[in-house]
Structure 1
Amino acid sequence: MFFDPLYFIFVGPAMLAAMYANSRVKSAFARWHQVGNGRRLTGEQVALALIKSSGLRAVTLTSAPPDNDHYDPRDRSLALSPAVGNAASVAAMAVAAHEIGHALQDSEAFAPLRMRTALVPVSNYGSQIGTYMLFGGMLLAGFGGGSLGLPVAWLGLGLFALGSVVSLVTLPVEFDASRRALAVLASSGLIANEEERAGVQAVLNAAALTYVAAAGAAIATVAYYGFRLMRLYGRRD
């Protein structure tokens, strides 16, 4: 079970895609982090300027640990890491504007964002419980207790699959935030030239790949365990 080749057949391609996506986003950020933006504004200054120009008065700016830039709709806080908040680079501008995109979604009650916000705590709890139920049920079924083990395992897989649902809902949220980021940077005049626009677009596109890869990996994992359960069900019959 722990060395099943089928796991790599199902999940292996998604894992490779995730590795590629992570390398792309690191490469894009590193490249455009070396290029200063024409306005010479740090990520924090970009965020503050966009908060003001977009009328997001309720949004507060805070600091975040490295690689943990995010917007939290629960308290309307926008957190930037030092590499973004303190840098006057094209990459920092892109990341800051992307988080502003989430703040704009929140201000407009963007349905996918609200759905994701509601699903995340349920998914976190459900996935933890579901994992125990899935493996416990499979173990019980493997020892001949399929009449009880398989229903428990299927229910566990359903709870575990909530993570995949969140990953799918995340896609329109992130794509829309990137679209809003480009639009708000252009309308505010913070993008100085076409080179900067291309750099912002490159960083945002690379980041989008990571969400696609994560969704693919989540779906592939659920598909694998679903296949395993169907095989166990076939053996019981």
Structure 2
Amino acid sequence: MFWDPTFIVLIPAIILAAYAQFLVSSRFSQYSKVRSTFGYTGSQLARRLLDNAGLYDIHIERVRGNLTDHYDSRKRVVRLSQATHDSSSIAALGVVAHEIGHAIQDKEKYAPLVVRNAVVPVAQLGSSLSWILFVIGLLIVSPLLIRVGILVFSAFVFFTLVTLPVEFNASSRAKKLLASMGMPSTELKAVGSVLGAAAMTYVASTATAILQLLRMLLIAGAYGSRD
């Protein structure tokens, strides 16, 4: 098919994504077996950190899955996965502190988070609709639809780019929060290793999005050269 040769553009991102996934899985697995000297479970640490930040109204919920932890700013809730909610491991506490970092970002109106939240609807649309518009544009010979598809996908690329500072900042906050509570340096180093691996998955997602956009531009360029 006419777009197949451009798939080679995605190979570096595919390799990076596979490496990042391996890294985060292996490091979380490694440090999930090491109990923190804190003695807190994930949910207990989350409550303590939220209260310390004056975020008494934010609730904590358990959700299914592994590493499905996230902060929901709309419903004001921190959701912790089965792997972290009741665990006292270094890995679990690091992930929990990261999510509390997002809650504090929200409280402080951290600019990149505000921007990311604002573009979420457009980004969701861009990730699902852009290629449909793009391919239809190719099939019915519509340069306008091709350009619209590229433009819509560009919004998704922007979302992945603005996500990077949000995630890196949350990890930085997490380490500072744990350090302020007296976590030993050896444990902080392990937390940094886990969160650093997690950050790589966001880097890989951004790289994939950028290369996908490049692929669209290459296909559009080849299409245009036929005219």
**Partners in 2 of 1:132 and 1:208 — Cα distance?**
30
**Partners in 2 of 1:175 and 1:222 — Cα distance?**
24
Q: Which residue of 1 aligns with 2:219?
A: 228
Contact 1:127-1:161 within 8 A present in 2 as well: no
Residue among 209, 218, 221 paired with 2:209: 218
Secondary structure at the residue paired with 1:217?
A: helix
Task: Confirm whether residue 183 of structure 1 aligns to residue 182 of structure 2.
Answer: no
Task: Confirm whether residue 158 of structure 1 aligns to residue 151 of structure 2.
Answer: yes
**Partners in 2 of 1:166 and 1:126 — Cα distance?**
10
What is the CA distance between 1:23 and its match in structure 2? 0.3
**Partners in 2 of 1:3 and 1:226 — Cα distance?**
11
Task: Confirm whether residue 122 of structure 1 aligns to residue 116 of structure 2.
Answer: no
Q: Which residue of 1 aligns with 2:84?
A: 84
Identity of aligned residues (%): 38
Matched letter for residue 204 of structure 1: L
**Partners in 1 of 2:57 and 2:106 — Cα distance?**
11
Residue deviations 1:172-199, cap 9 Å, x none? 000000000011111122x1x2221111
Q: Which residue of 2 aligns with 1:45?
A: 44
Contact 2:58-2:76 within 8 A present in 1 as well: yes
**TM-score (norm: length of structure 1):** 0.92
Q: Superposition pairs for residues 29-178 of structure 1, below 5 Å?
A: 29-66=28-65, 67-141=67-141, 149-178=142-171
**Partners in 1 of 2:53 and 2:36 — Cα distance?**
20
Q: Which runs of 5+ in 2 are unaligned?
A: none
Q: Which runs of 5+ in 1 are unaligned?
A: 142-148
Judged with a 3 Å threshold, the aligned counterparts in structure 2 of structure 1 residues 58 and 136 are, in CA distance, closer, same or farther, namely same
Ranges of 4+ aligned residues in structure 1 off by more than 6 Å? none
Contact 2:122-2:156 within 8 A present in 1 as well: no
Secondary structure at the residue paired with 2:61?
A: strand
**TM-score (norm: length of structure 2):** 0.96
What is the CA distance between 1:203 and its match in structure 2? 0.5
**Partners in 1 of 2:117 and 2:86 — Cα distance?**
28
**Partners in 1 of 2:223 and 2:19 — Cα distance?**
34
Matched letter for residue 198 of structure 1: K
Contact 1:53-1:188 within 8 A present in 2 as well: no
Q: Which residue of 2 aligns with 1:146?
A: none
Residue deviations 1:145-192, cap 9 Å, x none? xxxx12211111111222111110100000000000011111122x1x
